[in-house]
Amino acid sequence: MLSYSSFIYLLIILWISPVWLDLSNSRDFKDRPRYSTPESMGMSSDTLAKIDVIMEQAILDKVFPGGVVAVLKNGVIVYQKAYGRHQYESDATAYQIDDIFDLASLTKIVATTTSVMHLVNEGKLDLDDKVSRYLPEFETPPKNEITLRDLLLHESGLPAYRNYVDEISHRDSLLSAVLNEELLTSRGEKYVYSDLGFILLAEIVERVSGISFQDYVHAHIFSPLGMSETTFNPKIRFDDVLKRIPPTETDTSYRKKVIQAEVHDERAWLLGGVAGHAGLFSTSTDLATWASMMMNYGRYDDVIIADSALVSTFVRRQSKLANRGLGFDMKSENGFSSAGALMSLSSFGHTGFTGTSVWMDPERGLSVIVLTNRTWPFRGSSAAIGRVRASIADQTVKAIK
């Protein structure tokens, strides 16, 4: 018979045993989300398997050389699969489900919008604060009327895009150019999807928090959620990173090399790889954790990123000018949407230029993550990847029993 001390020791061994960890479905382990079968979550494995056909056909059509798809139901991963290779050659590195992707504009929601939401939740920002309160360059009319809400809704009047890289060669000059950019319209007059507004939002996060943007998101968002493989500038953080990060483009214009494991977006590159509009790298598993938090309206286990009512505000349609929440895209009410035809109108998410997307349907408890390097070897049109995203989203809805 075991002594009391031996019994306690045995319990401790069982508690930390890797076998036990593999069998556990507890959400107390923040370094990974839960996994389960589709059937246990009210979905059909056979229907989800048809995603294979969509992805394989897209690879044959050279929409992208490969990628990873993950599907969550009620915060549980029910489907996660890698397809194809990092490049089109038959001997190129095969995709794995833990590969790390350049998220491009998913940075806007995963890092920047989530950080703003967290700061608003802590009372350190208000959505109706004037941008000029934090950025003195906006103190003169008409910029002095622009609010944080305007930036999040892409209704500030700032232009969508400026090249900058032909004229500017370092971070401070680019940031100064953005701060001094002339408005194209009055605030609230027109929806213009703008990278520049999110560059400014990241700068505001820095000035309010007193630390760098990347330090803030790691300390207050990624680390608490256990998103250990989500980062800016992955070459600095991870070893042997080229094996896990697909190339995004052969750049013949600016950097004159294959772009791999450094941000694809030229403006984010000039900003040192850390920006509010682009620069973040992550995996499908880490994004599944973040999506679970969002679908649970700000909470993941005992971690609270923001109050549920505040999160609900961010992911609800907020504009009369466009299908936008605060930072988030919403499924189009009319016409084509990369969220597909079957997701509910309350669905929210975003896409990234490199071929990434996350769409979440709160009415169905459904999250769909699609990660590819569709810009390889040259960026081209994004129309084809939009159709692939929509087809995958529709297939996941069909899989719900």
Domain ranges of the chain: 34-398
Are the CB atoms for 76 and 41 separated by under 8 Å? Answer: yes
The Cα 35–Cα 56 span in angstroms is: 24
Q: What is the pLDDT of residue 32?
A: 63
pLDDT in tens, the chain (401 residues): 444 444 443 343 333 333 222 322 333 434 468 999 999 999 999 999 999 999 999 999 999 999 999 999 999 999 999 999 999 999 999 999 999 999 999 999 999 999 999 999 999 999 999 999 999 999 999 999 999 999 999 999 999 989 898 888 889 999 999 999 999 999 999 999 999 999 999 999 999 999 999 999 999 999 999 999 999 999 998 888 889 999 999 999 999 999 999 999 999 999 999 999 999 999 999 999 999 999 999 999 999 999 999 999 999 999 999 999 999 999 998 889 999 999 999 999 999 999 999 999 999 999 999 999 999 999 988 899 999 999 999 999 999 99
Q: Tokens 């999040």 label which residue?
A: 152
Instruction: Give the residues across from 359 on adjacent strands.
Output: 349, 368
First to last CA, the chain: 51
SS3 content of the chain, % helix, strand, coil (to 5): 40, 15, 45
Q: At what angle do helices 383-398 and 51-60 cross, to 10 degrees?
A: 170
Q: Tokens 């509009």 label which residue?
A: 277
Which residues, other chains included, contact 236 with Cβ-Cβ below 8 Å and sequence gap of 6+?
none
Report the Cα 82 to chain-centroid distance in Å. 18
Report which DSSP code applies to 41. G
Q: What is the pLDDT of residue 30?
A: 47
Q: What is the pLDDT of residue 19?
A: 28
Are the CB atoms for 265 and 353 separated by under 8 Å? Answer: yes
Q: Tokens 């003195």 label which residue?
A: 136
**376-400 per-residue burial string, b: 16 or more CB within 10 A, e: under 16:** bbeeeebebbbebbbbbbbbbbebb
Q: Rounded to 10 degrees, what is the CA torsion of 105, 120, 75, 398?
A: -60
**160-175 per-residue burial string, b: 16 or more CB within 10 A, e: under 16:** eebebeeebeeeeebb
Fold of the domain spanning 34-398: Beta-lactamase (3.40.710)
pLDDT digit string, tens, across residues 213-262: 999 999 999 999 999 999 999 999 888 888 999 999 999 999 999 999 99
pTM above 0.75, yes or no: yes
Q: In Å, what is the CA distance from 348 to each residue of 117, 274, 311, 316?
A: 15, 25, 12, 8
Q: In Å, what is the CA distance from 306 to each residue of 57, 111, 120?
A: 40, 14, 8
Q: What is the pLDDT of residue 288?
A: 98
Q: Which helix (H) or strand (E) holds 13?
A: helix 4-16
Burial of 74 (0-12, 13-18, 19+ CB in 10 A): middle
Which residues, other chains included, contact 268 with Cβ-Cβ below 8 Å and sequence gap of 6+?
107, 274, 275, 277, 278, 279
Residues in the chain: 401
